[in-house]
Structure 1
Amino acid sequence: MRNIDMIPVKPPIRRVCADFHGADAVELDILEARLGISRAARNKSERDAVLMELAVLSLKKQVEAYSQQTGDPYPSYDSLASWLESRHGTEINGHTADQAIKALNSPDGRSQETPHEHPENGV
């Protein structure tokens, strides 16, 4: 008879499958290209696993931020989704998401803001 301590423990496995269509599929391709996932992955399965790792890490951080802000450690899907949607324009490192997008789209990589977009100017 085998010693129970000698039986290898298999890690839990969770398979996640999702189909993206239309604009969502294009957006996902753009994200993968921006992150260089296709260069780092050898095949579709590995690419999807890397993408899911990043997605889960991001989701965990967002749930933690939501919980700290609201005091609710177990948000519902609806409340978290609403909170995430309302965060457009929230400051990160002193810059809003809109400012970061403008900087990404500018030729020199700097934000092309007008004075009224600087709250610190008091305008």
Structure 2
Amino acid sequence: MSLLADGWTLPQRRLFRLRHEPGTLLAMLMMASVFVALFGFVFGGATGVPVTSNHRESVVSNALVPTDRMPVGLRALCEWNPFSSAAAAAREIFGNPGAPRPDAGWPLTHPVTASLPWAGLPLIFAPLSVRRFARAGL
């Protein structure tokens, strides 16, 4: 049991430290997208496999999985995920909106409106966090 407790100590300490290092947490979450783009653009042409269409477009467009074939519960969770609405809003703003399913959730049918509250959260909580860290002496 001591081996398990000692083995859990290091990940637990690292997870607790991430609360004070949000940049590290963001970097860790963004690495998945960076690796998809890296392998698609940099190493994609070096595979030697003949491709009938532009494989780079498929890599980038499939970075977010379409929800059409997901089970109902998982589909609802993914449709109401703030990241999904932000990605759909970016597509709409840059002129590549795509067509959501007719029964898609509200955030995917109105992605820009659904993303506005999530974009406003840092405006509220960043000053509060700075104030709290200043008071705590961190």
Q: TM-score, normalised by structure 1?
A: 0.24
Q: TM-score, normalised by structure 2?
A: 0.22
Give the structure with the larger helix fraction: 2
